[in-house]
């Protein structure tokens, strides 16, 4: 068997083994999406391309930051070479100044996925943003979109006041909310204030509906030993910094939009401002990326419908 030539990506483990247990449901009319999940730097893109090759697929991004234009290097978006062979969707479709959230992502992705299916191709949905993926797989709860003005107001209010207000408006939600987590308290309160209804009731309705959704889903969860993942993160960070990440962030300017929160952007901005040296910048990106990868693993562990997949190392 001839090995197909592969782009020389030092991060790919060379000749990615072919998944053996792809779901085989030829009875289904529209090709069902295949999800490729896993922590950052685990090789999702390479596996997705491999699956797309075999299944007549097209790749759909499910990564919150690869959505943005001008963030390709820092967000480790698939390269031009990768994208040449297989059609890739939803990469670099947002302007750096655009805001994004899981609902917006869902509205973006759903039509793209349906369009791919209408051409009898398999959507291969690839990305590491757990919440965005969850919207795709389980649908949105009937909750209002975030409101920037209200958030600005809530952000300016002491947490203790937010908690007291939530306990007053929706005691049931207050019990379920991590009250030391300002983000979650704000969001719960925002829902109540925006809708005039109880967040707890709206959420209950959704949870009942989604209970059995996972049955029809299939996808893969890439699992790598922690040490190997850490090595890959270090290597990738080095490559990013040596191949344009700094120029990319400089070109973003100082806009404090969504993508200012991306790992790499924060650290490189500090470096460009002269606050930290190059070694510290590198080290901070590596550490932040490792921590992110760990959070992703925690998230995906709960998605038990995913089939674990260990690449041959």
Partner RNA sequence: GGCUCGAUAGCUCAGUUGGUAGAGCAGCGGAUUGAAAAUCCGCGUGUCGCUGGUUCGAUCCCGGCUCGAGCCA
Integer Cα distance of 286 and 282 in angstroms: 6
Residue 200: C-alpha distances to residues 147, 173, 176 (Å): 19, 5, 9
Q: Is 157 helix (H, G, I), strand (E, B) or coil?
A: coil
Residue 213 beta carbon to RNA: minimum distance, rounded to whole angstroms: 8
Residue 24 beta carbon to RNA: minimum distance, rounded to whole angstroms: 27
Residue whose CB is less far from RNA, 122 or 289: 289
Beta carbons of 53 and 86 less than 8 angstroms apart: yes
Residue 219 beta carbon to RNA: minimum distance, rounded to whole angstroms: 15
The percent of the chain in helix, strand and coil, each rounded to the nearest 5, is: 50, 10, 40
Residue whose CB is less far from RNA, 121 or 151: 151
Cα–Cα nearest to 299, from 51, 109, 133, 155: 133
Residue whose CB is less far from RNA, 2 or 279: 279
Residue whose CB is less far from RNA, 122 or 258: 258
Residue 134 beta carbon to RNA: minimum distance, rounded to whole angstroms: 5
Helices H / strands E in the chain, number of each: 13, 6
Residue whose CB is less far from RNA, 12 or 55: 12
Residue ranges in contact with RNA by CB under 7 A: 40, 63-66, 74-76, 100-104, 128-132, 134-135, 138-146, 151, 154-155, 178, 180-184, 186-187, 191, 203, 206, 210, 226, 230, 258, 261-264, 287-288, 290-292, 294-299, 301-302
Residue whose CB is less far from RNA, 120 or 209: 209
In 100-253, where does DSSP find H-type helix? Answer: 102-118, 130-138, 148-155, 159-169, 171-176, 182-195, 199-209, 226-242, 245-252
Residue 261 beta carbon to RNA: minimum distance, rounded to whole angstroms: 4
* Per-position b or e across 83-96, b if 16+ CB within 10 A of its CB: beebebbbbbebeb
Residue 133 beta carbon to RNA: minimum distance, rounded to whole angstroms: 9
Beta carbons of 116 and 60 less than 8 angstroms apart: yes
Residue whose CB is less far from RNA, 39 or 311: 39
Residue 122 beta carbon to RNA: minimum distance, rounded to whole angstroms: 23
Q: Which residues contact 167 (CB under 8 A, 6 or more apart)?
A: 174
């Amino acid at each position: 068997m001839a090995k197909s030539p592969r782009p020389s990506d030092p991060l790919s483990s060379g000749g990615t083994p072919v998944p053996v247990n792809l779901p085989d449901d030829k009875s289904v009319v529209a090709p069902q999406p295949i999800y490729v999940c896993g922590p950052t730097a685990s090789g999702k893109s390479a596996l997705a391309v491999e699956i797309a090759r075999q299944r007549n697929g097209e790749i759909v991004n499910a990564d919150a930051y690869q959505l943005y234009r001008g963030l390709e290097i820092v967000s480790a978006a698939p390269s031009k070479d990768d994208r040449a062979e297989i059609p890739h969707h939803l990469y670099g479709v947002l302007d750096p100044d655009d805001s994004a959230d899981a609902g917006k992502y869902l509205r973006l992705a759903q039509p793209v996925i349906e369009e791919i299916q209408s051409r009898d191709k398999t959507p291969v949905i690839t990305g590491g943003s757990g919440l965005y993926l969850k919207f795709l797989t389980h649908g949105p709860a009937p909750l209002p979109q975030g409101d920037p003005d209200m958030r600005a107001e809530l952000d300016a209010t002491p947490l203790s006041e937010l908690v007291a207000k939530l306990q007053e408006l929706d005691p049931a939600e207050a019990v379920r909310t991590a009250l030391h987590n300002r983000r979650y308290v704000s969001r719960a309160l925002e829902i109540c204030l925006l809708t005039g209804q109880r967040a707890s009731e709206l959420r209950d309705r959704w949870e009942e509906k989604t209970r059995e959704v996972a049955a029809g889903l299939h996808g893969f969860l890439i699992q790598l030993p922690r040490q190997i993942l850490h090595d890959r993160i270090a290597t990738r960070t080095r490559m990013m910094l040596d191949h344009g990440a700094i120029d990319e962030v400089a070109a973003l300017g100082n806009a404090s939009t969504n993508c200012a929160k991306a790992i790499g952007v924060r650290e490189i901005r500090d470096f460009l401002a002269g606050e930290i040296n190059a070694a510290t910048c590198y080290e901070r990106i590596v550490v932040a990326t490792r921590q992110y990868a760990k959070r992703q693993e925690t998230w995906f562990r709960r998605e038990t419908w995913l089939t674990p997949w260990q690449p041959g190392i």
